[in-house]
């Protein structure tokens, strides 16, 4: 491999000749060989750096035109566009497990953009610190990148997948409006419910989760940019934060704004705790829904078998013909991971010492993994399972008519204790509720048929 020599404040460093990164990135590569190839900084963070560096350059051009010339802006902006669209992805090799402020990733962005910008300009025009990092610090850029990545991940990937799954459940409910089945509480038979009502509970849970997630977005839209090192804004023009946030909003089409208190923005990650709590709520609901689906589909002969789900692949290497609820299992595993991630996000957010949080990379890594996994899992669950759910009406009717909890309909006519006695006799003697009630002398056959209407119980 061929190398070139790059220089930083600590001296010369050899860097692979075909890479745009510089000395500080190379030092980080050597100093943090932890999770290499597996846990690199999320691509969403890299893209967010491209966005914020372009926005910063635009703001500097407006506020410091004598330093940020039009030529420099053009070179930075073009390089940033390549970072944003992923063209330069291979030039961001650093792992999550680095400095807790994300300083090396900020410098990775500065060096790549400067070197690529110089290549675009055809001469050594840009310096990574003096030009690309102008009016900034790692301490305000990394939390800014975190917020941009979180908002865009939620808006562009998570919410569309959530909305699509919710709508598919609503359509499924409408298609099964007239079907009455046995309800279940404590995994035991309960009073009847319409299948459409059961499904409506799933879709409403998802709709409620959406409300909670979107409630967190306004706080995530507040950007730390402009706080620089400790929140005072040293080395940045007075209105840099406001101007840069406006440019971020223009680039992304999302309503970002400057954080009103930069001291809070640098040291606190409470917005991430709040937002990830909503993601955890979604994960918990998806766990419940996926479990409901696989229980209802259990069988096909010796389980509930009240619904049929798509058969996507063979389920066993030894049992021919076996098909498993694999999409449900994938969703539930994702839910476990997201719930676990919530602990990491909360712990990371608790480590704001004085003027800076130093657990930001791991906070961002877990948060963005949750967004990505939830979005992907919902899209797969919808297309490969939910869209193909069909009701087994005969099995639902059979299970309903065998349910002893239909006896609840008799409470107004014979009272709770007599109804309980009727149910126990029917179960003990393996006879119908009607036979038990008549045998006990509580109702005549005609009166029983008149008041016992399961379809009216839901």
Active site residues: 186, 316
What number of CA atoms fall less than 13 Å from residue 93's CA on the CB side?
A: 22
Task: Compute the distance between CA of residue 28 and CA of residue 15 in angstroms, rounded to an integer.
Answer: 12
- Identify which of 222, 242, 227, 93 has the alpha carbon closest to the alpha carbon of residue 148: 222
Backbone angles phi, psi at 227, to 5 degrees: -85, -20
d(CA 373, CA 168): 19
For 228, phi and psi rounded to 5 degrees?
Answer: 50, -125
Q: Where are the beta strands (DSSP E) in 85-229?
A: 180-185, 188-194, 222-223
Question: Which bin fits 377, alpha (ψ -120 to 50), beta or left (φ > 0)?
Answer: alpha
The phi, psi pair for 313, rounded to 5°, reads: -160, 160
List Cα–Cα distances, 371 to 230, 290, 364, in angstroms: 29, 18, 11
For residues 103 and 108, give the distance between their C-alpha atoms in angstroms, rounded to a whole number. 9
Beta strands in 9-155 (DSSP E): 11-16
Identify the CA nearest to 47 among candidates 92, 96, 74, 86. Answer: 86
59 and 135 Cβ atoms separated by less than 8 Å: yes
């Amino acid at each position: 491999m061929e190398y070139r020599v790059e220089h930083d404040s600590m001296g010369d460093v050899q860097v692979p000749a075909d890479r745009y990164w510089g000395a500080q990135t190379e030092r980080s590569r050597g100093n943090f060989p932890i999770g290499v190839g597996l846990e690199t900084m999320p691509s969403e963070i890299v893209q967010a750096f491209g966005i914020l560096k372009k926005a910063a350059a635009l703001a500097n051009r407006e506020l410091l035109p004598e330093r940020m010339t039009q030529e420099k802006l053009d070179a930075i902006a073009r390089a940033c566009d390549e970072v944003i669209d992923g063209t330069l992805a291979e030039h961001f090799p650093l792992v999550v497990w680095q400095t807790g402020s994300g300083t090396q990733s900020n410098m990775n962005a500065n060096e790549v953009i400067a070197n690529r910008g110089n290549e675009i300009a055809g001469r050594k025009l840009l310096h990574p610190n003096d030009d690309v990092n102008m009016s900034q610090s790692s301490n305000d850029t990394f939390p800014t990148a975190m917020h941009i990545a979180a908002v865009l991940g939620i808006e562009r990937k998570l919410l569309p997948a959530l909305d699509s799954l919710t709508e598919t459940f609503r359509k499924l409910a409408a298609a099964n409006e007239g079907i009455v089945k046995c309800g279940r509480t404590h995994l035991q038979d309960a009073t009847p419910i319409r299948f459409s009502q059961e499904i409506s509970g799933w879709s409403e849970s998802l709709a409620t989760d959406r409300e909670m997630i979107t409630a967190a977005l306004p706080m995530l839209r507040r950007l730390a940019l402009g706080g620089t090192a400790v929140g005072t804004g040293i080395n940045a023009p007075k209105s840099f934060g406001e101007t840069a946030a406006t440019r971020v909003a223009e680039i992304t089409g999302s309503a970002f704004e400057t954080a009103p208190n930069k001291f809070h923005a640098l040291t606190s990650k409470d917005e991430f705790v709040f937002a990830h709590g909503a993601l955890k709520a979604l994960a918990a609901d998806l766990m419940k829904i996926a479990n409901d689906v696989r229980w209802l589909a259990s069988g096909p002969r010796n389980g509930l078998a009240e619904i049929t789900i798509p058969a996507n692949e063979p389920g066993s290497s030894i049992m021919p013909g076996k098909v498993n609820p694999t999409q449900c299992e994938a969703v539930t595993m994702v839910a476990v991971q997201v719930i676990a991630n919530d602990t990491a996000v909360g712990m990371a957010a608790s480590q704001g010492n004085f003027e800076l949080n130093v657990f930001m990379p791991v906070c961002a890594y877990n948060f963005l993994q949750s967004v990505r996994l939830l979005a992907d899992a919902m899209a797969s669950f919808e297309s490969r399972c939910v869209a193909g759910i069909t009701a087994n009406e005969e099995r639902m009717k059979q299970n309903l008519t065998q349910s002893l909890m239909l006896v609840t309909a008799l409470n107004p006519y014979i009272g709770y204790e007599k109804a309980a006695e009727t149910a126990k006799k029917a179960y003990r003697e393996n006879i119908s509720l009607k036979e038990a009630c008549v045998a006990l002398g509580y109702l005549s056959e005609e009166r029983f048929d008149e008041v016992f209407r399961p379809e009216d119980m839901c």
